[in-house]
Structure 1
Amino acid sequence: MERKWGKQTGKKSKRQLIKKSVASLMLVNMLCLSTIVPTAAMAASATSGTSTDQKSTEATASGSTSIPSADSLGLQVKSAILIEATTGKVLLSINSDEALPPASMSKMMTEYIVSDYVKQGKIKWDDVVTVSANAAAQVGSRVFLAEGDKHTVLDLYKAMAVGSANDATVALAEYIAGGSEKEFVKLMNEKAKDFGMKTAHFANATGLSIADMPKGTQPEDGKETVMSASDTAILARHIVVDHPDFNEVTKIQSFKFRPTDKSPVVNWNWMLASNSSITNFKAYAYPGLDGLKTGHTNAAGQCFTGTAERNGMRLISVVMGTSSDKQRFIQTKKVLDYGFDHFEVKQIVGAKSAVSGLATIPVVKGSATEVPVVTDAAVNVVVPKGTNPQNVTYTVSQADETARTAPIEAGKALGTITYTYKNDSMPQDQVTTVNLIASEPVEKGSWLRLFFRSIGDLFGDLFNSVKNMF
């Protein structure tokens, strides 16, 4: 492995070196003739600005793989995308940046916000929600709520995530936003911006076309809900990563919304791995698949966001604008097979790991001059199946002096390390940045320690100055 350091900018002139030498001798004379005061000692301190180091490393490939193009799949979709969940790496993309009607896949944003409110303690799963007239008036998929009905957040959430119930979705949206679906939609659009979703716009909590919303509740601007496949995958990834227990609900095959209901709510997702034993669905059941959301309107066609995990790798697929409910699952299988057949995840560095060649980072005004650092998170990359990562480089950026000034607690971020993985058979480089954190604490140095350290530094500079003159 080879380490590359940036060159120090500028060279000291002989005149500067002579001046520094004279200053050093004057200081030594002062030490011999006068009393030392603490304030003078504290004035001398080492400085170190933000710096950047680079390192490159290579790993031997265990084999080479030729990855077929996405076009070779012959997908019958308006758009599609496939990403790996932990890295966000795009593995397949077909027209994935075009904004299209997502239908009920937009409910994933409602699901995310509800789950987040529970996680933050703003609401509870066993809170009781009273159904409004607006919620009860929703059309399409529903559990036939009546105005004044009372149900828990969890029951309504299950009806939304499993049965795609529009009435349950609006009831949850209004509960969170103080009785107003329009106010909840503002939350949806704000969250889309936070996630970096470039095309997404939500008109309602359900994904229904504006014409199908109850009279008097439509948005004034008349803008329909749209989301690209790429944005849909970003949203799905946030669900999977931020709420890893998502599948406790999304993998439910069926359930009775009310104990008195004659028929259960059946999951619209035919590809659930657990459906392998269900006669009507076993032809579509996909090993490892446990979510996420179907969608259908006349404008959107048949859509599906699926996620499956195998051998420690979780993939997220989105297909939009397929011709039938069967085709959205058939096309999804092609997309997921493409990912699992040709890619795998490899770890470059683990969480809380030391970086080879970068054991420490300088500390300012500490009892020690350096502190050991480790990564705060693991770094994974997606590689062609059967190979190891090659051509991995990293760049290190130290934090500024303020952040590196003692006292320093263990776990404090003192810089970042950015890994870049290049592979000719993959269209984009994979770039991941994690923090470098102190692995142990460093106390603030006493004034006496700092003073004598500064004297040592001056004599070191003096010696180097004299050496460089000859």
Structure 2
Amino acid sequence: MNRPHTPYRRLPSISKRFVSMSVLFGMLSMMLFAGSASAAAASSMPDLQLNAQAAFLMDAETGQVLYEHNADDKLPPASMAKMMTEYLVEKAVEQGKIKWDDVVTTGENAAAQVGSRVFLAKGEKHTVKELYVAMAVASANDATVQLAEFLGGSEQAFVEQMNETAQQLGMKNTHFVNTTGLDVADMPKNFRPSGGGETMMSARDSATLAYHILKEMPQFLEVSKIPSLKFRERDKTSTPNWNWMLESNKNIPNFRKFAYPGVDGLKTGHTPTAGNCFTGTSLRNGTRLIAVVMNVPGGLYDGTRFLETAKLFDYGFNNFEKKTIVEAKTPLKGIETLKVSKGKHSSVPVVTGQDVTIMAPKGSTVNITESTIKANQDPLPAPVKQGDKVGTATVKYTDPATGKEMTATVDMVANDDVNKAGWLSLFFRGIGHFFSSLFKGIVGLF
């Protein structure tokens, strides 16, 4: 969480051992959900009685939108902005630019951060992994800034990478001015950006970023579900994860009413300007959902944002189910075969390479309205082996939840062998084609 550090005060809803911490903290495009929703789609959304300025719900597997409310409004995301730093750090490690055990020295900017932090002192040394966990679990502003400077040379240079990546991921209503989500006025004076403006992100964009994190680096959940953090060995206490919805909280009396089955991430956010925000994810019965709420009113310690998020999860899990609209190893109407050149047969039967599964309202019917195929080559050169990928099909269907026309793609594979024809077969086939063309030409004269 991004807030000034204040001394401990007794709070009625949380036990002293969980709130006597000096740091408040939090957890942590697809084309199917990029862009603004149509008016028809918006009008079809149910009234969930959400107490949030913006909200969004999607299927984490396909990126399919299940619910949206003011989803493209640009709002301050507070610490949810840190998800982009988490994404870029993971990418840098994956690409070999940095290592988890690289030692990082704390600089002036990180040491001067306010709000949620692990109180890094200038010159203090920690590994990338230690700072990363502090950022993800404790929402530490100082750890976040120090990682940004380690990767980008300066926080503002790293912010440029954040904005470039946001565009690449299809986050059309996002702009970062810092790595933490703090208001510019709360940044260290000597390190404030000169361009003006504040960090802004839409609920759709926050879900988009979460979608890419889960798709590309699912191992992040092993960090985001850590229930508490003891940053230094000498620290006398551990700080609990600010994500009170974690399923692991179900046995903790003060968090029990917020704990939700399957929740293992991702990122909370709070500033006086942003209000209470949360991007959460839950996995139940093989289905993972991503939910976002922004600017939820109420006190920081009353947990209202988690209750609002639970409404989204309840709606998704209770009202939708996975439906396979195209089964693997089946032909698609109108594109049952593809032409083959110089083969023993002039065509090959083709079938789908995998299932196409979507989320649909329970009891609804989803029909394919159109199927088209893009072959690898037209015609396919022989030989063709059964199971070879020969092209990609696009199917169109109407989303029963929103009424919008949607598309999905599926690999098409050969369903039989077509061996290359011998020269004699090709010779007589050529003669046949010659006389066939000649006959058609003669008929055309009359």
User: When the two structures are superposed, what TM-score results if normalisation uses the length of structure 2?
Assistant: 0.81
For residue 47 of structure 2, give the secondary structure of its aligned residue in structure 1: helix
Q: 1:127 aligns with which of 102, 113, 130?
A: 102
2:420 and 2:176 mapped to 1: Cα distance? 52
Give the C-alpha shift of residue 316 in structure 1.
0.7
For residue 156 of structure 2, give the secondary structure of its aligned residue in structure 1: helix
Give the C-alpha shift of residue 253 in structure 1.
0.4
For residue 200 of structure 2, give the secondary structure of its aligned residue in structure 1: coil
In the alignment, does 2:161 pair up with 1:184? no
Decide which moves more: 257-266 or 365-374.
Answer: 365-374
2:111 and 2:404 mapped to 1: Cα distance? 47
Give the C-alpha shift of residue 119 in structure 1.
2.4
Residue of structure 2 in register with 1:75 after alignment: 50
In the alignment, does 2:361 pair up with 1:384? yes
Residue of structure 1 in register with 2:243 after alignment: 269
- Structure with more contact order per residue of length (Cα contacts < 8 Å, sep ≥ 6): 1
Contact residue 338 and residue 379 of structure 2 kept, 8 A: no
1:442 and 1:113 mapped to 2: Cα distance? 47
In the alignment, does 2:59 pair up with 1:96? no
Amino acid at match of 1:391: N
The 5-angstrom pairing of residues 412-451 of structure 1 reads 414-424=390-400, 426-437=402-413
Q: 1:252 aligns with which of 226, 240, 246?
A: 226
Residue of structure 1 in register with 2:8 after alignment: none
The 5-angstrom pairing of residues 33-44 of structure 1 reads none
The 5-angstrom pairing of residues 314-463 of structure 1 reads 314-324=288-298, 325=300, 326-349=303-326, 353-357=329-333, 358-364=335-341, 369-371=346-348, 373-375=350-352, 378-385=355-362, 387=363, 389-399=365-375, 401=377, 404=380, 414-424=390-400, 426-437=402-413, 453-463=429-439
Residue of structure 2 in register with 1:143 after alignment: 118
Cα 1:206–1:398, aligned 2, differ >3 Å: closer, same or farther? same
Give the C-alpha shift of residue 249 in structure 1.
0.7
Give the C-alpha shift of residue 381 in structure 1.
1.2
Residue of structure 2 in register with 1:23 after alignment: none
Runs of 5+ consecutive residues of structure 1 not aligned to the other structure: 1-67
1:424 and 1:349 mapped to 2: Cα distance? 16
Give the C-alpha shift of residue 382 in structure 1.
1.2
1:171 and 1:403 mapped to 2: Cα distance? 56
Contact residue 365 and residue 400 of structure 2 kept, 8 A: no
For residue 218 of structure 2, give the secondary structure of its aligned residue in structure 1: coil
Residue of structure 1 in register with 2:273 after alignment: 299
Cα 1:300–1:451, aligned 2, differ >3 Å: closer, same or farther? farther
Residue of structure 1 in register with 2:133 after alignment: 158
Decide which moves more: 425-434 or 333-342.
Answer: 425-434
Give the C-alpha shift of residue 365 in structure 1.
5.5
For residue 293 of structure 2, give the secondary structure of its aligned residue in structure 1: strand
Aligned-pair identity in percent equals: 53
2:434 and 2:83 mapped to 1: Cα distance? 62
Give the C-alpha shift of residue 401 in structure 1.
4.4
Contact residue 360 and residue 400 of structure 2 kept, 8 A: no
In the alignment, does 2:258 pair up with 1:281? no
In the alignment, does 2:62 pair up with 1:87? yes
Residue of structure 2 in register with 1:16 after alignment: none
Give the C-alpha shift of residue 464 in structure 1.
5.1
For residue 415 of structure 1, give the secondary structure of its aligned residue in structure 2: strand
Contact residue 416 and residue 434 of structure 1 kept, 8 A: yes
Decide which moves more: 146-155 or 189-198.
Answer: 146-155
Give the C-alpha shift of residue 323 in structure 1.
1.4
Q: Deviations over 1:255-314 (max 9, x none)?
A: 211111111132110000111011221110001111110001111000001111111111
Query: Which is greater in Rg?
Result: 1
1:444 and 1:220 mapped to 2: Cα distance? 67
2:415 and 2:156 mapped to 1: Cα distance? 48
Q: Deviations over 1:111-155 (max 9, x none)?
A: 111112222333222222222221222111011112222222222
Contact residue 102 and residue 227 of structure 1 kept, 8 A: yes
2:311 and 2:183 mapped to 1: Cα distance? 29
User: When the two structures are superposed, what TM-score results if normalisation uses the length of structure 1?
Assistant: 0.77
For residue 191 of structure 2, give the secondary structure of its aligned residue in structure 1: coil
2:221 and 2:132 mapped to 1: Cα distance? 12
Cα 1:140–1:394, aligned 2, differ >3 Å: closer, same or farther? same
2:94 and 2:387 mapped to 1: Cα distance? 24
Runs of 5+ consecutive residues of structure 2 not aligned to the other structure: 1-42
Q: Deviations over 1:417-463 (max 9, x none)?
A: 12223255534233212343567898887877755543333234345
* RMSD of Structure 2 on Structure 1 (CA): 2.9
Cα 1:341–1:451, aligned 2, differ >3 Å: closer, same or farther? same
Q: 1:230 aligns with which of 177, 198, 204?
A: 204
2:107 and 2:379 mapped to 1: Cα distance? 52
